Amino acid sequence: MEYTSGAASWQKVLRRAVAGLLPRRARQRRAGWSIGVPLIAAAAGLLFTTTATTAGGTALREDRRPQLNQLIEERREQVAASEERAAALRQDVEERTTALGEQDGPIKAQQDRALATRQSAGFTALTGPGVTVELNDAPRRDQLPEGVSNDDLVVHQGDVQAVVNALWAGGAEAMSIMNVRVLATSAVRCVGNTLLLHGRVYSPPFKIVAIGDPAAMQKALAESEGVRWFKDAVDHYQLGYRENASTVTVPAFGDSTALRSAAVAK
């Protein structure tokens, strides 16, 4: 009896131990899920909210190129309107200054001094012998050759700068890019395969016109390492390069002439 009672006692102890273990494991699982499920739901809700805000009521995979093109066109129209207004204001300032100079001797003297330097400063249109260079992207292809990327088939900022620098080095007296007069302070930048110049965007082909000694400028183009690299790309990737000497015209500089700093000439 004692042995049986002892066995029964051990059985009861084991059952209680097993019964005590099972609920604890179940509670641990339920506790983990009870914490994890709200966290997952909160993360999913945050993701859905962010997606909806980003989409702005439209499909995220929707092709937005038409919207981007429309935005670019609107900005171009705004820039053009601002330029027309700026030109009208500059004309008004010049007329008022001229009228004032007729009544004030010192002002008249400074006006005459400024007029004498307008041509060298780039504020008058010029016509004369020169060189025209045109750079263009390669034709579009459905399939690129092995080892060739789209980046190899477009005109880059360095290509335009190489031509511009060579023309200046060859003695160019005046220059325009895309029929826009450029000065020593003009910056040539490319965004993708478009040219950004004086706040306006231009697409290829990029036309560069320079007035000066055609022979000297063409010699400088031939000796320019950057131009030679581009001509090599013309041979390999069918990029466009045209160069010819003729009588050319460059317009007057028409953008803002505001100075950030100045010093008295000695």
pLDDT digits (tens, 9 = 90+) for 92-110: 887 887 787 777 778 778 7
> Where is pLDDT greater, at 47 or 92?
92
**Which tokens belong to 212?**
């000066």
Give the CA angle between residues 94, 96, 98 to the nearest 5°.
Answer: 65
Higher pLDDT, residue 257 or 18: 257
Question: pLDDT band at residue 262, thresholds of 50, 70 and 90?
Answer: low
Average pLDDT over residues 43-71: 65
Per-residue model confidence (pLDDT) at position 186 = 81
Alpha carbons within 13 angstroms on the beta-carbon side of residue 183 total 16
- Mean of pLDDT over the chain: 78
pLDDT at 73: 78
Distance CA 115, CA 123 (A): 9
* Lowest mean pLDDT segment, chosen from 7-21, 137-151, 179-193, 210-224: 7-21
Q: Tell me, what's the pLDDT at 48?
A: 66
- Look up residue 212 and give its DSSP letter: S
Rounded CA separation 197/190 (Å): 9
- pLDDT over 90 (residue 135): yes
DSSP for 193-206, written as a single string:
TEEEETTEEEPSSE
Instruction: Work out the angle at residue 70's Cα, subtended by the Cα atoms of residues 190 and 199, and round it to the nearest 5 degrees.
Output: 35
Q: Which residue has the higher pLDDT, 4 or 123?
A: 123
CB 204 within 8 A of CB 129: no
Closest to 210 measured CA to CA, from 244, 254, 187, 185:
244
Query: 44 versus 201: which is more confidently predicted?
Result: 201
In contact, 155 and 206? CB cutoff 8 Å: yes
Q: Which residues of 213-245 are buried (b: 16+ CB within 10 A; e: fewer)?
A: bbeebbebbeebebbeebbebbeebebebebee
The token pair at 171 is 């003695």
At 259 the pLDDT is 60
**Residue 244 pLDDT > 70:** yes
Amino acid type, 214: P
